[in-house]
Structure 1
Amino acid sequence: MKARIPKHREFIIDFPKDVPAEKADEGWDKLMGLMEDYKKSHNGQTVYSPTFIEDLEPAVKELQAQYGFTYTIQNSK
């Protein structure tokens, strides 16, 4: 049996060590909330959606300003 996994891009999030754990956890929860809201508003689409990065990047940047994490966008195989 063969399965083809589509290539996609994903956010790689990094909270620096100087960000308190409570703040990092709160930021992470909000990031996960963005994904859940995305699924609900896009008929269950996930990170495999071709426009996932473009759709969420503005909101991720807002959270980045609040919570001090860094992110990169990486192509996944």
Structure 2
Amino acid sequence: MKARIPKHREFVISLDEKEEPRHQECWDKLNQIVKEYQKQGKSVYTETFIEDNEDKVKALQQEYKFTYTIEER
């Protein structure tokens, strides 16, 4: 059996528990972004996922200490 998995881009978030004591709170908020996006009938594999959510991720980055990159898989 063959399966074709389309290439997609994704956020790769680095969140150090020692640097950010509220790391669980931050992960919860990041996961909430994904859940809200899914409520719109979209998924993390939607071509515009990064563009649709990067501003929200940047806003959280201002509040919490983490870094992120965007990688193509």
Distance 2:25 2:11 in 1: 17
Give the TM-score normalised by the residue count of structure 2. 0.93
Q: Identity percentage over the alignment?
A: 54
Q: How many residues align?
A: 72
Q: CA RMSD in A?
A: 0.8
Instruction: In structure 2, list runs of 5 or more residues that go unmatched.
Output: none
Give the TM-score normalised by the residue count of structure 1. 0.89
Which amino acid is 1:15 matched to?
L
**Residue number in structure 1 paired with 2:4:** 4
Question: Which aligned runs of 4 or more in structure 1 are off by greater than 3 angstroms?
Answer: none
| CA deviation vs aligned residue, 1:13-50 (integer Å, no higher than 9, x gap) | 01133211xx1110000000000000102x1x211100
Distance 2:31 2:72 in 1: 20
